Structure 1
């Protein structure tokens, strides 16, 4: 008998389906399962396949070795970005430092799901160095503590948390020296539901060169934007 998924939290359904249908160690198969569920009556507030195109493009172009993600949810974007970071690292011949994505979120339950999904994708290792690490807490409290571990800052940042946190988060990153020349800040949901103060900041500050990519909200046809802002000063 098929499992009734209609009354269960969507993150539980997605984790179950990923465990059953994805190929362990194959990040793309994990993403494919999650995308299919997103389009087939299990909508989830992940990055989504349409906007992932622009995020992958930014990772391939800028080839970050360290990336800070603000907003983990269930690990879709961490899987997309982490696997792309590994691919570009291998194309450059590997070596140290290995790519590292640090993902922050305040929700313990969905972060636990994200860790399991990233493990299935082959990005979290129970024994060796993981490509993706997860940290639970308030990003506005955690960001000021990161300079000690990341003295050179981050090569890239992906922001997909509560929209009212976008602007204070990027200002904290600036204040604590966690962005350097060449760093790239990627913002999701810039149009829908929208982060207008963040958009004004990265458009108007001489510190950034910003490109706005027109796309659609995850698993819908509603319009949305992704921004890619390169630190130039």
Structure 2
């Protein structure tokens, strides 16, 4: 009787937690559990399923239509961890304002942000995008080329960011980046920012954008950016891609040079 009474006492708390975090539970189901179950039952990885959908429905050579098709997939079918349309507008606006000639993306995934960045580049600009997972890179390659961008505009580099960054100048010809977009493993943000500094790959005044700094979060990266004296830092408050009820943010750093 005592144990039953104790269990009943926790019911209101459990109901309250379920109600409060119902959107996070929905994200867990759509982003992790459902894809995992489909793959265990013999289906292709969700990125491959998304690619098949894009190849079947997107207009070749039309970057915006490719992005809208990826949005349709993520909104109605399975969640992809892409920047999405709401945060994408922040990215587009800043890219338009800065007009960078050398752009570096860390975390290509399926190529959503790569296409978004590439379509906003000024004439003569070049985008270098780094993806550690060869399977994701293979999907991204097809998405990027379907959108109409060739190797002269977008160079896709497969490898771990901590190994690629030190070779960017010598092997890939990136002297300094004017614009950096981070959307890979959040725990790598701070390490890779410091690697870019150590290898003198950030132009003075360069913009560094980092996605998902609130959810799932990158607290050490934000603390460093705000306190090291090398950056002006602001956070654009928004929501998680395709889940408006989950708060998120994009950090905007402006590099002032070494201190």
| 2:238 matches 1:215 | yes
- What is the Cα deviation at residue 205 of structure 1? 2.4
Inter-partner Cα distance in structure 1 for 2:45 and 2:164? 28
Number of aligned residue pairs: give it: 215
Give the unaligned 5+ runs of structure 2. Answer: 1-34
Give the unaligned 5+ runs of structure 1. Answer: none
Inter-partner Cα distance in structure 1 for 2:115 and 2:203? 25
- What is the Cα deviation at residue 220 of structure 1? 0.6
Deviations 1:57-92 (A, max 9, x none): 11111111111111111000101111111xxx1xxx
In structure 2, the residue corresponding to 1:214 is in which secondary structure? strand
1:153 to 1:22, Cα distance in 2 relative to 1, 3 A: same
- What is the Cα deviation at residue 50 of structure 1? 1.3
Of residues 106, 128, 136, the one that matches 1:110 is: 136
Of residues 180, 196, 212, the one that matches 2:219 is: 196
- 1:121 is matched with 147
What is the Cα-based RMSD across aligned positions, in Å? 1.5
- 1:156 is matched with 179
Of residues 71, 79, 85, the one that matches 1:43 is: 79
1:151 to 1:70, Cα distance in 2 relative to 1, 3 A: closer
Check whether the contact 1:210–1:228 (CA below 8 A) recurs between aligned residues: yes
Deviations 1:69-116 (A, max 9, x none): 11111000101111111xxx1xxxx4xxx2111111110011000000
| 2:100 matches 1:64 | yes
- 2:66 is matched with 30
| 2:232 matches 1:225 | no
1:101 to 1:14, Cα distance in 2 relative to 1, 3 A: same
Inter-partner Cα distance in structure 1 for 2:51 and 2:103? 24
Inter-partner Cα distance in structure 2 for 1:48 and 1:8? 23
In structure 2, the residue corresponding to 1:161 is in which secondary structure? coil
- 1:132 is matched with 154
Inter-partner Cα distance in structure 2 for 1:151 and 1:134? 13
Q: Which has the higher contact order (CA 8 A, sep 6+)?
A: 1
Check whether the contact 2:57–2:69 (CA below 8 A) recurs between aligned residues: yes
1:108 to 1:215, Cα distance in 2 relative to 1, 3 A: same
- 2:163 is matched with 141
